[in-house]
Structure 1
Amino acid sequence: MENRVKQARVQAGFTQQQLADQIGVTRQTISLIEKGSYNPTLRLCLEICYAVHQSLDELFWVDEKE
């Protein structure tokens, strides 16, 4: 699966630390999400979406094939 979270974060002009601070998690959490090593809660997914001005579908939707 392509990493859309990292792309959206960079496009929004955030470092991992800045995004983490804005949504109230650690930089390590953002790093793990971007690596695909951490499965965030729905609430955390929504917080990321709000911060980078993207929809849940744009960042987290996974097709059955993936």
Structure 2
Amino acid sequence: MTLGEKLREVRKSKNMTKQELAIALNVPKDRIKLYEIGEENPSEFYLTSFINYFNIPEEDIMSLK
């Protein structure tokens, strides 16, 4: 599983849209799309925000980088 696939899986498991996540993390919706499809790599700040927001183990995400 790629990092983008994991990000999408976690978001969908919480029944959130890209728009809802974008608002929650103060990230443009289009940027989330790019992360999820693997066209852009998320910054450390975004990854940390994502991990904290969803309260998931850091290893689950960082191991996919």
| TM-score, L = length of structure 1 | 0.81
Give the residue type in structure 1 aligned to 2:56.
Answer: Q
- The correspondence for 1:34, drawn from 33, 36, 42, is 36
User: What is the percent sequence identity of the aligned residues?
Assistant: 21
**Structure ranking higher in helix proportion:** 2
- Rg (Cα) greater in structure: 1
CA RMSD in angstroms comes to 1.6
Partners in 1 of 2:31 and 2:64 — Cα distance?
20
The range that moved more, 29-38 or 45-54, is: 45-54
- Tell me how many residue pairs correspond in the alignment: 63
Structure 1 unaligned residues grouped into runs of 5+: none
The one-letter code matched in structure 1 to 2:43 is T
TM-score, normalization by structure 2: 0.82
Q: Which runs of 5+ in 2 are unaligned?
A: none
The runs of at least 4 aligned residues of structure 1 exceeding 6 Å deviation read none
